[in-house]
Chains A and B, each alone.
Chain A
Amino acid sequence: MILKEQGLVVSVVDHHAMELTPRISEADVADYVALLKPRVMSLVVFTALVGLLIAPVHVHPVLTFTSILCIAVGAGASGALNMWYESDIDALMSRTANRPIPRGRVTPPEALTFGMTLAFFSVMTLGILVNWVAGALLAFTIFFYVVIYTMALKRWTAQNIVIGGAAGALPPVVAWAAATGSLSVEPLLLFLIIFFWTPPHFWALALFRCEDYARAGVPMLPVTAGPDATRLQILLYTIVLVAVAFAPWPLGYFDAVYGIASLVLGGGMLMLAANVYRRREGREASRATRRLFAFSIFYLFALFATLLIEVVVRAAAPSIW
């Protein structure tokens, strides 16, 4: 009675009701696939494949498939664990509100179990079937993305995606290690390209999703430092990116086809980044930002595709090269 007067009865009744009727999941396979972030995974698979194929050793196709599958599943596990931890802020942002947890299709404990299971199996399978250098690097990549980026950096500093970008840059390094059992300069060059590509790419996204991030309390650079400072940072990081992406040619690590492609593609990135820096108001500014975001995805795909083509042509017709 006293409880009822204080308005506490409802909560007591609800609590018992929850205990008596356990939630039965209606999540289907598509919901679990969405937890893997398939679009991010496709970029990871592609960059890892390049990292593996440019290695100067012959890798059996079955081992190539195993390595790429493990790296893809590890990336998917990172995505699921990221969605588990960020379900509260995902619900607040229009870009992420449709993810399985905010929609109520998958519960956070289900996503956590799914992510941890995949992380365990991907690392162990890569370690046992391929080698432990690659297995350990994959474990570190998952740890870095989930613990360092998602849990520590993302809600704390505007440099979140600069430092966190290392996680997204590691797949070609893991793949190279899977092929050779060691590390070398080439995979580190690929690492640096993705590392310096990440800030202009994500800050371009953050510029036109600024309100989303502000609502969710995520300290992305446009929220904390403002759009103009972000535009300058985008331009500066793009200059560094173009230089880093071009360097492997004169240094003798990659061939001329790659060097020319990196110059042409880099010119496109620089032009679009300069456009973002110049156009700061209205529809023109928004269009410039979206163009840079879209082109940055093409840039990375095309740059890595050039390396892949070089490898394929060299293998098919060594006399041409």
Chain B
Amino acid sequence: MRGAMDDKQEQKGIVLTEAQKKSRRERSIAIALALGVLVVLFFAVTIVKGPAVLMRPM
């Protein structure tokens, strides 16, 4: 009986508060935006440089 209760509690895990959920969502959006900017940046520079994108002077 007790073992079953423990299992149930373990499954429940850590419950985030509303504030924690909100800040996690904000952080996730910021990371997604940053990655999006990086992708757009690489795409834009590739278009601008054309084949020269492979020639990087030391």
Contact = CB atoms under 8 A, between A and B. Distances in A.
Tell me if B's interface is mostly helix, strand, loop or mixed.
helix
Interface in B34-48: 38, 41-42, 44-45, 48
Interface in A89-132: 121, 125, 127-129, 131-132
Interface stretch (A26-34, A153-161, A244-252, A269-277): A26-34
A127 B27 CA distance: 27
A26 B20 contact: yes
A66 B53 CA distance: 14
A131 B49 CA distance: 12
A239 B46 CA distance: 47
A32 B30 contact: yes
Contacts, number: 50
B58 interface: yes
A196 to B, nearest CB: 31
A62 B44 contact: yes
Contacts of B4: none
A128 B57 CA distance: 10
B23 A28 contact: yes
A22 interface: yes
A125 B42 CA distance: 9
Contacts of A128: 56
Interface residues of A, number: 23
Q: Give chain B's interface residue range (CB within 8 Å of chain A).
A: 20 to 34
Given A62-B45, A62-B48, A66-B45, A133 B20 contact: no
B5 interface: no
Contacts of B44: 62
B14 interface: yes
For the residues of A in contact with B, the DSSP-based class is helix
A129 B45 contact: yes
B1 interface: no
Contact of B58 (A27, A69, A121, A133): A133
B57 A24 contact: no
A66 B23 contact: no
B25 to A, nearest CB: 10
Given A28-B26, A66-B41, A133-B57, A60 B48 contact: yes
B48 A25 contact: no
Nearest to B14: A24
Interface string B1-33: 000000000000010110110111011001000
A63 interface: yes
Contacts of B22: 28
Contact of A27 (B14, B16, B27): B27
Interface of A: 21-22, 24-29, 32, 60, 62-63, 66, 69, 121, 125, 127-129, 131-133, 181
